[in-house]
Structure 1
């Protein structure tokens, strides 16, 4: 990574690309309808939620190579319970513009193993001293969904990056069409529990079967990673609202739209910046249907505030920590030393609404 003529953070080198499939076949197949108000080729399927957790080395046998090897098995077991994460988009008709659905076809998620010639302490020290919007983006991998052949594009990527000191990072990129699973299903804690259970078994070998340093052939070449526009950390401000109302599940109701517009207005006032006049809203209406709708700010601001005051919804602030990533322990009894979250490619702003046990979580990202 270079700013001006001065290199600050070296490039990440990709060492291996693997596919992790569910531990068992998904039967029956699960599907999720994707309803859109814009043509399929508009790029609305390329936005993703990015999460990076950083761990320092705490024991001699601790390394990202070992963690990645065990992830091949632990993530496969978790995917058996959440097969949609390993699914693919497909058209339900042969037309260029037709309704889409996600099908849990067990094609798997991509696991990237990488390294970077810098210590974790040096990187974290750099992050404290500099404002770098791209540095964290080195530690996640993402390829945009192919508009013409979406059925070949993974919707979930995982990158494990090894630092020179033995520390490592785990980076996740999840398409916004499936991001609600990370919130609603306590995904991170379930995954960490499965991972630790596998590693702690007395008959488990010291190194996993898929331990890359043992599998790497002499003379094989690494490939430099490239940063997609959807990986780059935007200069944005994100706020999460918890809306308490068990009936709040559909944008078809005008009052529900006003709740979202009022949430956007509150964040805009907070940061002194504006969303575009028309911005996308991702709403999971049920377990098998998600809607992507362009929302237009066509209501007077004073009217919006009056509507929210008269509503019976209870609104509170949430945080990215609700995902549980900051508490995830993959072994060695350690929690992350740093966790970062961002939504890629939100030049116009974006809203994600995911059902919770009591209503909705509304994520508002406003470009600043």
Structure 2
């Protein structure tokens, strides 16, 4: 579909709507001491590499109306993001291969390698872009950047990308891509709200709005974008559908085995709703503790419950379909009172079915959220 700009011209490809004008890395303001590490444990069949979990990501795009300082925004974000990462250093870390007595393992190490930050411009106004988005969701891919993690040399790949896009005549979007291995840190541990709070306090502390230290508005010519080989991205696969379930336990013990069993029932719900098949195996990712994340491939043929067993599970657990909005993303505001006018969330770059288990926001330990993603068409 051709998209018309404000001057009546056409853009045969939605990439031409955007120009990326800068790319930089943002590291924590202070060196992380002591270093933190998150162990990534896989089952015996090497599910993570084969099923694409290493390369998969959770993506968010938040859209905001015009604020008084849109064109300084990327510069201020460098400073506020660096401050926020002090308390969340794993987001600025890298994957590292380690060896134990039996096999090769993966760790996410807070080596302060940094988040990659991009600044871009869009030739459409924000209302016009949102209007086009209703007809073609593919336009949204250009507002969020991701390069899948290199399986052979994962230590060279960022785990988080942030893209700030300024629209014509004001308004902006903040697109965030985060490795599935760290998605819980991003959305459940309140990183986004903490970052926005720091950003607002930093601006208020300065009194009148001044140009940020890192503001470089003319580091590239207005009619030039950065070369494509500098900003080559991994486009997400089309056709994936997802559902979010809130899980409340009526049992005294809500263990990991029970969570996997409930995940099977949720998978069947997704298959029925979207008329799709998750396959004999799907990837199941759950954070077992602050130091361990486990990736498994449960076999449906081995774990499929009889109708009586499924009914018994449903009686012990309350499974409620919900939405991505439960993670409080509409409450994230980078300028006082300017909350998001629209938010999109999805899981990308996962070739097969996938289930992500995270604690449910604002609830006690007996509640979890299961995010089920069907295979792309």
TM-score normalised over the length of structure 1: 0.88
Of 76, 83, 87 in structure 2, the residue corresponding to residue 81 of structure 1 is: 87
Of 18, 37, 41 in structure 2, the residue corresponding to residue 31 of structure 1 is: 37
Deviation at 1:187, TM superposition (A): 1.9
Deviation at 1:200, TM superposition (A): 0.9
CA distance in 2, matches of 1:297, 1:165: 52
Of 49, 56, 74 in structure 2, the residue corresponding to residue 47 of structure 1 is: 56
Is the alpha carbon distance of 1:6 and 1:314 closer, same or farther for their aligned partners in structure 2, counting shifts above 3 Å?
Answer: same
1:108 is aligned to 114
Is the alpha carbon distance of 1:257 and 1:202 closer, same or farther for their aligned partners in structure 2, counting shifts above 3 Å?
Answer: closer
CA distance in 2, matches of 1:304, 1:348: 27
**Contiguous gaps of at least 5 residues in structure 2:** 4-9
Of 267, 279, 285 in structure 1, the residue corresponding to residue 270 of structure 2 is: 267
1:198–1:204 Cα contact (<8 Å) kept: no
Aligned residues: 356
1:139-218 equivalence runs, <5 A:
139-203=143-207, 205-213=209-217, 215-216=219-220
CA distance in 2, matches of 1:305, 1:160: 45
1:62 aligns with 2:69: yes
Deviation at 1:2, TM superposition (A): 6.2
2:65–2:126 Cα contact (<8 Å) kept: yes
Query: Matched residue of 1:278: which SS?
Result: coil
Deviations 1:30-52 (A, max 9, x none): 11100112436423200000000
RMSD: 2.7
TM-score normalised over the length of structure 2: 0.86
Deviations 1:86-134 (A, max 9, x none): 1110011299x61111111111111011112222222111123x1x242
Query: Matched residue of 1:213: which SS?
Result: coil
Deviation at 1:78, TM superposition (A): 1.1
2:6 is aligned to none
Moved over 4 A (4+): 214-221, 224-227
1:240–1:318 Cα contact (<8 Å) kept: yes
CA distance in 1, matches of 2:110, 2:2: 40
Q: Mean alpha-carbon deviation: is it higher for 82-91 or for 331-340? A: 331-340
1:55–1:168 Cα contact (<8 Å) kept: yes
Query: Matched residue of 2:192: which SS?
Result: helix
1:305 is aligned to 310
2:322 is aligned to 318
Deviation at 1:301, TM superposition (A): 5.5
Is the alpha carbon distance of 1:346 and 1:145 closer, same or farther for their aligned partners in structure 2, counting shifts above 3 Å?
Answer: closer
